[in-house]
Amino acid sequence: MEFDPGLFVELFARTLSFWWVIIPAIFLGLVVGAIPGFSAANTIIILLPLTLAMDPEIGLIFMVALYASSRMGAGIPAILVNIPGTAGAAATPLDGYPMTKAGRGHQALAISFVSSTAGGLLTTILALLAMPWLSQVAYYLHSVEMIVVMLFGISLIASVAARDTLKGLIAGFFGLMIGAIGADVVYATPRGTFGFLELYDKVPLIPALVGLFAISEAFLVIEQRSIITKEGQALMAKAGWAETWEGVRIACSKWWHITWTSIIGLVIGVVPGAGASIASFVAYQQSRTYSKTPELYGTGHVEGLVAPESANNGVTSGTLIPLLVIGIPGGATAAIMLVVLQYHGVAIGPDLFLSNPNLAYGPFTAMAVTYALMILTIMPLARYMSKVTVVSTVYMTPVIISFTLVGAFVSREYVFDMYLALVFGVIGYIARKTGYHVAAILIGVILGPMLENYFLRALRMSQGDIMVLFSSTLGNILWVLLAFSIGLPYYLQYRRKRRRQATA
């Protein structure tokens, strides 16, 4: 599986000739990603007859472009109206939305676009160069290691709870309890379903996501004329291209932050089933841990926006590696790509890189071209997209609630999910009004069931021996790193306190 640079140049030029496929897929992906509840996987399924009718190479290019652009699109509503388009963008509003409320929505979008494209482009190139080694990551990250990776994400609850520890931990454990609703994974015994058959397959993620963030925010903003402060409105009135390009400059100055957080996304993306939500939470937690100004996170801090956007776009190339190397899809979209390739009789595996390098390496070059074209086609729109925030809440709130309820319905096509989204909206509204952080609740809902599955799998393999959690060398290294990342903020806080006392 050795890589020939000449082949890469030839593939890049060939992929660029399919711009007429990539550009429409980019705009379609942006729209799909920006609508809560819709995803690249749903859209590709709807368009499956079209992709099956295409040549397999063109079909793959179309699906890859749609997948990459939808990941960027999910961050747009997360920044502008506090509504993550997908679970992978759930950490984006933590710092993106405060920037919008301060009248810097156009800058936040510019920073997001640069971070997304730079992170996606960098990890795509790294995936091409390091594919023989990255393809082995999935063999080393088993249940024990994934438990620790999940705990990295869940430890973000402690970071969110920094201002009010008790309320933050209560919100996090409440989210973990909600995540435990559904049929038990061992005995299939219903837990906390209250007799609703729709909850036997656990609490659906999309209604919880749009309810906690979107609907609760809609209930909140209806109490005021605009989501932007008066100072922010004055800034928005003066905002021009100079401020937008200032956002680009700020993002470029964070090139090292983009680099290492996107690599986190790439490595997590290689593990089948891990996904962008884990990557974005872990990247945000690590970014805050090693920051010199952790107290600024959650107030509109640039690094708090860069980290999750770089990481969740780094996942995109990672999910394709196990698909093409060992035939195991890394996510829902990759699974649909596998169906298309099998329909055309393409044999997935290491031999594909020798027998048909255009199909093997083509998705990665297509992703690189997509990210390169995205920065040229989407960046000029940042200034105009941000104008949606000046619309009166009298008109914005009904539109937000309508779109999010439709999004809650689309994923499973149950009317029950629309009511569930409203319930979560009320829970989120009460949480915001009483000082509890909805992000802490959502982290528990997303990562709790995953943690339980990996934990029970590890116990079954060890016949109930809890010490299996410390039986792996790599796992033990990760345990040490987890303890270090949790303890480091407290140590740095202690040092800063001592330094202030010495100065005084």
Alpha-carbon gap, residue 71 to 314, rounded angstroms: 10
Q: Let me know: does 382 contact 244? Beta carbons within 8 Å.
A: yes
Tens-place pLDDT, residues 68-81: 998 888 888 889 88
Of 124, 122, 118, 100, whose CA–CA distance to 382 is shortest? 100
Tens-place pLDDT, residues 434-458: 888 888 888 888 888 888 888 888 8
Q: pLDDT at residue 2 above 60?
A: no
Enclosing H/E stretch for 502:
helix 473-503
Query: In the structure, what pLDDT confidence band is assigned to residue 37 with cuts at 50, 70 and 90?
Result: low
Alpha-carbon gap, residue 170 to 147, rounded angstroms: 22
Which tokens in the block code for residue 331?
């996510």
Q: pLDDT at residue 118 above 90?
A: yes
Query: In the structure, what pLDDT confidence band is assigned to residue 428 with cuts at 50, 70 and 90?
Result: very high
The pairing of strands 190-191 and 182-183 is antiparallel
Q: Let me know: does 283 contact 261? Beta carbons within 8 Å.
A: yes
Average pLDDT, the chain: 83
Q: Let me know: does 88 contact 71? Beta carbons within 8 Å.
A: yes
> CB under 8 Å to 252, separation ≥6 — which residues?
114
User: What average pLDDT does range 250-260 have in this prediction?
Assistant: 94
Most confident of 8-17, 252-261, 410-419: 252-261
Q: Let me know: does 156 contact 284? Beta carbons within 8 Å.
A: yes
Most confident of 38-42, 283-287, 293-297: 283-287
Q: pLDDT at residue 250 above 90?
A: yes
Q: Name the residue with higher pLDDT: 9 or 469.
A: 469
Q: pLDDT at residue 253 above 90?
A: yes
Q: Let me know: does 42 contact 5? Beta carbons within 8 Å.
A: no
Q: pLDDT at residue 141 above 90?
A: no
Query: In the structure, what pLDDT confidence band is assigned to residue 283 with cuts at 50, 70 and 90?
Result: very high
* DSSP secondary structure of 357-403: HHHHHHHHHHHHHHHHHHHHHHGGGHHHHGGGGGS-HHHHHHHHHHH
**Residue with the two structure tokens 């990776």:** 149
What's the total number of domains in the chain? 1
